[in-house]
Chains A and B, each alone.
Chain A
Amino acid sequence: MMKTLIGAIFAIASTFALSEYTLNMTEGVTSVSQNIYGLHMTIFWIVTAIGIVVFGAMAYSIYHHRQSKGAKAAHFHESTTVELLWTAIPIVILIVMAIPATKVLIDLENTDNAEMTLKITGHQWKWQYDYIENDTFGVPKEGITMMSNLAQSSRDAIKASTQPEHYLLDVDNRVVLPVDTRIRFLMTSNDVIHNWWVPAFGVKQDGNPGYINDAWAKIEQEGTYRGQCAELCGKDHGYMPIVVDVVSKEKYKAWVSEQKAAAAAAAASASKTWSKDELMAKGEQVYNANCAGCHQKDGKGMPPVFPAMVGSSIANGPAADHVNLVLHGKGAMPAFKMLGDADLAAVITYERQGFGNTGTVVQPSDVKSGR
């Protein structure tokens, strides 16, 4: 008992020692985030000044005008002059605040003249990034598509006693963006409303299903920047982080060609026939990244909301129904048609053959015909 207590105290003390107490908003690395920070500080100091005056008057009154100090109550109860004054002065202060706010707002809403465009689609609970065709950086006509999930290291630490440094702020596939480039972000969603927020960019915008919003940033410093979904989007709202690597324009171009090569390789692998072992190995990765959040790593699910894989009638039933469900979703089960044929074939096979199930093996060609 005593030992646990001492242990707990040390654990608490060490967390206090390890992490820093961040008190204020980040200034960030874009003109937008810096303007926002400036505005935030201006208003903060204005309200602080008002607070000092109002609370100062209150404190003075509480100290001096009390019965125990022999204060006798005055009888005044109105004064038109004073009333007019403290209506007019706040209006002037508000105008002083509104002018810079208006300027900053008009600038940050102007998404014209973008040098590249990144389309961001929220899914329950991961991000899809589509790099739109771009001649300057060599992005092909079909674009580059990438899914970004919570990193396995974070997922494993959810119920652990210690967490890694970037716990819940780490992903499997990072967004890569070039420095000093005016980037237009397009936000939308595949299911519920999400919100893509990277504080250091001053970019935060809802992704609404069926609609597209936009924002822009010109990132001035290379580095890694992290953020999170900022609109409640269901069970794993807290588990869909954003990680952006900002690199030099040359490195970005190199990254784009790597992605092109990888896409070509994936297309090739989708047309071949896979062995069961290959499918199972790949399937486990895809399952843990995309499915384990609800259906759990051990396949036991969280009934009745999230059904178990173990002994599932879908996983042990006809393959076509299983493929159809995963591709198109149903109710709380989201559609996964944005994943590649090979990934889907692998994960479906993993679900049908793992967890003690006895369903048939599914090949990429089966998924392709199910689309």
Chain B
Amino acid sequence: MATDTIAAHDDHHHGPEKGLLRWVKTTNHKDIGSLYLWFSFMMLLVGGAFAMVIRAELFMPGIQVVDPHFFNSMTTMHGLIMVFGAIMPAFVGLGNWLIPMMVGAPDMALPRMNNWSFWILPFAGAILLSTFFMEGGAPAFGWTFYAPLSTTFAPDSTDFFIFAVHLLGFSSIMGAINIIATVLNMRAPDMKLMDMPLFVWTWLITSFLLIGAMPVLAGAVTMMLTDRNFGTSFFDAAGGGDPVMFQHIFWFFGHPEVYIMILPAFGVISHIIPTFARKPLFGYSSMVYATAAIAFLSYIVWAHHMFLTGMPVAGQLYFMYATMLIAVPTGVKVFNWVATMWKGSMTFETPMLWALSFVFLFTIGGFSGLMLGIVPADIQYHDTYFVVAHFHYVLVTGALWSIIAAVFYWFPKWTGKMYNESLAKIHFWWSIISVNILFFPQHFLGLAGMPRRIPDYNLQFADFNMISSIGAFMFGASFILFTYIIIDGIRNGKPAKARPWESAKGLEWTLGSPAEYHSFDKAPSRKKIEQESQHTSVA
């Protein structure tokens, strides 16, 4: 008996379990990281398919493809799936894979909880998607689910949506707790906080945002649930409630949520640019402080999403000034990246191409964000395609761009193989051209007066919508190539070196490629940490 236990323990120690159950039972951060990444990729394809339906309907004036109610379900589910199913789990997947390796830890601090926080997700996703098959159809009130459209006037399936949101929230909160515990408790003893790579820093700060914001979302949907089923009137004016209060609660979650989706992206970019510029990251500590400043500001600007709900002038002025302030730390980050490139010795491998285009396109999204923050101008921009263009520039060519950059950058470390560089470059150019054909004309549509979330439009909007839809189909098709590159790389890629990018810094590159199933059983030495540090003040 005793020998059996030891044997079983040794098996576990030396490698993964065989068969499918490995993935169900795994507590290994690399396995769970892969699960998160594959799950988010599936969801990206589902959410992308919804986007294709939306753009097909908007290809020309008139209703051709879907009825307006289903169209609203499409925009709603596209948003929900992309935010909660694709972008957030993808970053958690990156965090799972990379954070223990970057801080020299053997695994995440809470491995069983890690397993659970992943395995909640497929069920939450399935519940959300099952609403399509329910009487009355899927939720059709937008991903922001404003009351009373989402309470009194919503289909019965909304209660399933509420349950799914609760589950997604549990998963995110557990993931965040795990990352905080890992970074603070499992870090190599000789690694100081200000030695940590920026991806770890940004994720640590993001975790605090998650812990702060997700319970607020849970509160919002719980109030919806009781309003819908138990006769309360939180958001119903007829019973003494206030529909605008829903928006305050939602955006108190929603604005930090925006930064939850972009701070880890800043981290990723801060790794890639120094590697391919062959120069240390400029302003490491100001990057850390800027991230913290953005996180703090993200909690005090929520009502800039609500300038038209009827707010007193003083409130509008405060939220405008606070919003404008975000431009300062965000600007610092962009300037630091440019300064990192400056006088470097740059090469343009695929991850660098994605990172550079991130800086360019995310900044364009930042500019339109600044414009939107100006209250009087927001009156004309609000709820138009200008807003749609803005948040797709920051979320697609921002968050998603960084995830794709990260996938190419760490692909050799994860799989031990190199992807096909020339195909990956073709994919990059295809993506960047099509994504701009898709989203740039939407700025013009919004300025010309086209509201968002409409299934049909006047002829004056026809041209740009058609161009945008063509871009959308091209961009959608780019994911076929992306899938091929990834699968081809895993199956047929050439073996990768332990450090495939010669100037890459970070403890993860001291491991083999692929990284061993169990890494850093012994904590790395101070010397090693200093050698691999992102900022060279210690070197």
Q: CB within 8 Å of B: which residues of A?
A: 12, 15-16, 18-26, 33, 35-36, 39-40, 43-44, 47, 50-51, 54-55, 57-58, 61-62, 65-68, 71-79, 82-83, 86-87, 90-91, 94, 97-98, 101-102, 104-106, 108-109, 124, 157-161, 163, 165-169, 191-193, 195, 197, 199, 202-206, 208-211, 213-214, 227-239, 302, 304-305, 332
Contact = CB atoms under 8 A, between A and B. Distances in A.
Nearest to A200: B449
Nearest to A50: B367
Query: Which of B137, B238, B459 counts the most chain A CB atoms within 10 A?
Result: B459
B63 A159 contact: yes
A77 B447 contact: no
Given A57-B342, A230-B384, A238-B68, A106 B313 contact: yes
A208 B243 contact: yes
9 contacts: A22-B447, A39-B376, A47-B367, A73-B278, A73-B345, A78-B286, A105-B376, A208-B309, A237-B72
Interface string B371-412: 100111101101110000000000000000000000000000
A83 B286 contact: yes
Contact of A105 (B148, B375, B456): B375
B442 interface: no
Given A58-B360, A73-B344, A211-B242, A233 B149 contact: yes
Give the secondary structure class of A's interface: mixed
B71 to A, nearest CB: 8
Which range contains the number of B residues in contact with the other chain?
A: 35 or more
A204 B338 contact: no
Given A25-B380, A87-B331, A232-B149, 7 more contacts: A72-B345, A78-B284, A78-B286, A90-B331, A158-B456, A232-B142, A232-B453
Contacts of B325: 94
Contact of A238 (B243, B285, B356, B455): B455
A363 B534 CA distance: 82
Interface string B57-72: 0001111000111001
Contact of B460 (A22, A65, A161): A22
Interface string B70-102: 001000000000000000000000000000000
B191 interface: no
A22 B444 contact: yes
Ranked nearest first, the 7 interchain pairs of A and B with the lowest CB-CB distance are A210-B237, A238-B454, A213-B310, A22-B448, A74-B343, A77-B280, A73-B345
Contact of A73 (B136, B155, B343): B343
B455 A202 contact: no
A5 to B, nearest CB: 16
Interface string B155-186: 10000000000000000000000000000000
B341 to A, nearest CB: 4
B338 A58 contact: yes
Nearest to A227: B449
Contacts of B375: 101, 105
Contact of B341 (A58, A67, A166, A234): A58
Contacts of B340: 77
B517 interface: no
B346 A87 contact: no
Contact of A305 (B155, B452, B466): B155
Contacts of A191: 148, 152-153
Nearest to B309: A206
Contacts of B449: 26, 199, 227-228
Nearest to A35: B376
Contacts of A40: 371, 374, 377, 380
Contacts of A33: 380
A206 B328 contact: no
Interface stretch (B123-131, B249-257, B314-322, B493-501): B314-322
B132 to A, nearest CB: 13
Contacts of B335: 54, 86
A131 B288 CA distance: 57
B358 to A, nearest CB: 12
A94 B458 contact: no
A94 B308 CA distance: 22
A62 B382 contact: no
A204 B462 contact: no
B72 A235 contact: yes
Nearest to A293: B68
A94 to B, nearest CB: 5
B458 A77 contact: no
B444 A163 contact: no
Given A94-B325, A235-B69, A197 B451 contact: yes
A61 B359 CA distance: 13
Contacts of B328: 87, 90-91, 94
A302 B69 contact: yes
Interface string B269-302: 0000000011111111110000000000000000
Contacts of B332: 83, 86-87
B536 interface: yes
B140 interface: yes
Contacts of A57: 338, 342
Contacts of A239: 68, 456
Interface in B438-486: 444, 447-449, 451-460, 462-464, 466
B149 to A, nearest CB: 4
A146 B386 CA distance: 32
Nearest to B342: A61
A75 B279 CA distance: 6
A230 B380 CA distance: 10
Contacts of B242: 210-211
Nearest to A93: B327
A209 B242 CA distance: 9
Given A22-B448, A208-B310, A230-B451, A77 B536 contact: yes
B211 interface: no
A208 B244 contact: yes
B374 A97 contact: yes
Contacts of A15: 60, 459, 462-463, 466
Given A74-B279, A78-B284, A54 B338 contact: yes
Contact of B346 (A67, A193, A202): A67
B199 interface: no
B531 to A, nearest CB: 15
B146 interface: yes
